[in-house]
Amino acid sequence: MLFNSWSFAVFLPLVFLVHFLGRSTAWQIGVLTVASFAFYGWTDPSLVPLLVASTFINGLCAQQLLTPGMAPERRRTALRLGLGFNLGALAFYKYASLLAGLIVSREWSTALHEEIPLPIGISFYTFQGISLILESWWSGDRGLAGLTAPTPSTPLAGRIGFHARIWFFKAFFPQLVAGPIVKAGEFLHQIGSKTLRDIDWNDAIRKLVLGFFLKCVVADNLKDETAALNIGEFTKLPRANLIALLYGFSFQIFADFAGYSLIAQGLARLFGYQLPINFNMPYLSRSLTEFWRRWHISLSSWLRQYLYLPLGGNRRGPWRTHFNLFVVMFLGGLWHGAAWSYAIWGSAHGLLLAFERMGRGEAKIQADPPWNPLGVIRALLVFTAVSVLWLLFKLPEFSHVIAFGRSIVQNSAPAQTQPIFVITLFSLPVVAWHLWAAVRPWRAKLPSAWTTPVETAIYATALLLVWINSGSAGDFIYFQF
How far apart are alpha carbons 173 and 165 in whole angstroms? 14
70 sits in the region (left: phi over 0; alpha: psi -120 to 50; else beta) called beta
Q: pLDDT at position 478, please? A: 74
Predicted confidence band of residue 279 (pLDDT cuts 50, 70, 90): very high
CA triple 12-14-16, angle to 5 deg:
65
Q: What is the pLDDT of residue 316?
A: 78
pLDDT at 180 (0 to 100): 92
Summarised one tens digit per residue, pLDDT across range 14-61 is 999 999 998 899 999 999 999 999 999 988 888 899 999 999 999 999
Q: Is the pLDDT of residue 252 over 90?
A: yes
Q: Which one, of 152, 132, 158, lies nearest residue 143 by Cα? A: 132
Mean pLDDT of 458-464: 92
Residues in the chain, total? 481
Burial class (CB in 10 A: 0-12, 13-18, 19+), 282: buried
Q: Is the pLDDT of residue 10 over 90?
A: yes
Q: Which residues pair with 147 in a beta bridge?
A: 144
Catalytic residue numbers, as ranges: 336
Model confidence over 194-206: pLDDT tens digits? 999 889 999 999 9
Confidence of residue 100 (pLDDT cuts 50, 70, 90): low
> Given pLDDT bands bounded at 50, 70 and 90, which one contains residue 362?
low
The more confidently predicted of residues 199 and 473 is 199
Question: For 287-304, what is the mean pLDDT?
Answer: 92
Q: Give Cα separations from 310 to 134, 287, 321, 455 (angstroms).
A: 11, 25, 12, 43
Averaged pLDDT, 430-434: 93
Torsion of CA 213, 125, 193, 271, to 10 degrees: 10
Contact 49, 120 (CB under 8 A): no
Q: Residue 480: which pLDDT band, with cuts at 50, 70 and 90?
A: low
The three-point CA angle 460-249-430 to 5° equals: 30
What lies within 8 Å, CB to CB, of 151 at 6+ separation is: 67, 68
> What is the model's pTM?
0.91
Burial 284-304 (b: 16+ CB within 10 A, else e): bbbbbbbbbbbbbbbbbbbbe
Tell me the mean pLDDT in the region 397-409: 90
Q: What is the pLDDT of residue 366?
A: 60
Mean pLDDT of 267-295: 94
Give pLDDT, residue 368.
62
- pLDDT higher than threshold 80 for residue 173: yes
Q: What is the pLDDT of residue 373?
A: 81
Average pLDDT over residues 305-310: 89
Q: Is the pLDDT of residue 249 over 60?
A: yes
Question: What pLDDT does 281 receive?
Answer: 93
Q: At residue 371, does pLDDT exceed 80?
A: no
- Angstrom distances, CA of residue 127 to CA of 4, 124, 291: 25, 5, 22
Confidence of residue 133 (pLDDT cuts 50, 70, 90): very high
Ranking 94-98, 127-131, 326-330 by mean pLDDT, the lowest is: 94-98
CA distances from 25 to 145, 162, 186 (A): 16, 12, 18
For residues 452 and 462, which has the higher predicted lDDT (pLDDT)?
Answer: 462
Of the listed ranges 339-353, 400-414, 448-462, the one predicted with least confidence = 448-462
Q: pLDDT higher for 440 or 24?
A: 24
Q: What is the mean pLDDT of residues 351-380?
A: 75
Mean of the per-residue pLDDT values of the chain: 87
